[in-house]
Amino acid sequence: MNRFLSTLCAVMSCLCAAAQVHLDKPLNLTAAQDSLRRIEGLASPLDATSLITLDNAQQAASNWYTVTGGTTVTQLAGSPPALAYTNGMLIRWIPLAAKSGNVKVNVDGLGTRAVYRTDGLPATEGQVAVAKAVEMIYVDTAFFIMGRSITDCPSGFVRISDEFCIQQNDTLSVSIFTAISHCYARGARLCTWDEYTMACTAYGAQLSGLFDDWEWVDDTSDHTHTADQVARYSCNGNRAVNAVEATASFGVVRCCYRIR
């Protein structure tokens, strides 16, 4: 009888250990040896309420996401999937293809979110590059890239120094306000006067459309409500025009992109 009870208890013990157990009180492990005070056999977490093992924590598995598709918007999937976007959500992933334009992601089907650099400008392919890990944190309504400086220029830009790149081709002819918005939407900005002059003088052979028209720079002169344009006939040429939405005050856009 005693042998039967012992066998039955052993079987019951095994069954209990393999089952799902809900505890409404603290669980205290009281074995005399440290090696016996532990829970073994926990699987990887499959949902938001699962326990995370030391192995999962060391690998940060719950923060690792894989690219499942997407062109203009990168689709990311985690395991277990996130239930909602929350402040402080940390995502790590590796881009599989070059991005054109600003970076946007859709995490676990929760909706499209923009990705920004640490300086608040939209992230472009210069920041999110193929086969280079990206770490980003969610704040309010968007993700912000963490812990890595920009390492390359976007396509269509010429590297001028360790500090910045300049757009190879001039683009549309618009007002100063539209020019600023145009560059910002691409994760770039208007060049300062000294940046433009350096690029034009030292790297002019690599730039297209020079001296075709006046080009905007991010500078002003000592005149009320004016903005500066440069390089209509030479790298050093400049003029001040009214900052208004009028064709007579339009200029060509050539953006700069800060690497650091």
Contacts of 25 (CB under 8 A, 6+ apart): none
Q: What does residue 252 show for φ and ψ, rounded to 5 degrees?
A: -85, 145
Placement of tokens 């157990």 in the chain: 21
CA distance 218 to 228: 7
Q: What is the pLDDT of residue 72?
A: 86
What is the per-residue pLDDT across 182-237, written as a single tens digit (0 to 9) for each? 998 887 899 999 999 999 999 999 999 999 999 999 987 777 789 999 999 999 99
pTM here is: 0.57
What is the per-residue pLDDT across 107-158, written as a single tens digit (0 to 9) for each? 999 999 999 988 787 887 667 878 888 999 999 999 999 866 556 788 889 9
What is the DSSP code (8-state) at residue 175?
-
Q: What is the pLDDT of residue 118?
A: 81
CATH architecture of 157-258: Roll (3.10)
> Quick one: how many helices (H) and strands (E) in the chain?
4, 16
User: Tokens standing for 202?
Assistant: 């030292």
Please report which helix (H) or strand (E) contains residue 205, including its range. none
Domain spans of the chain, in order of start: 61-145, 157-258
User: Tokens standing for 43?
Assistant: 């699987």
Q: How confident is the model at residue 253 (pLDDT cuts 50, 70, 90)?
A: very high
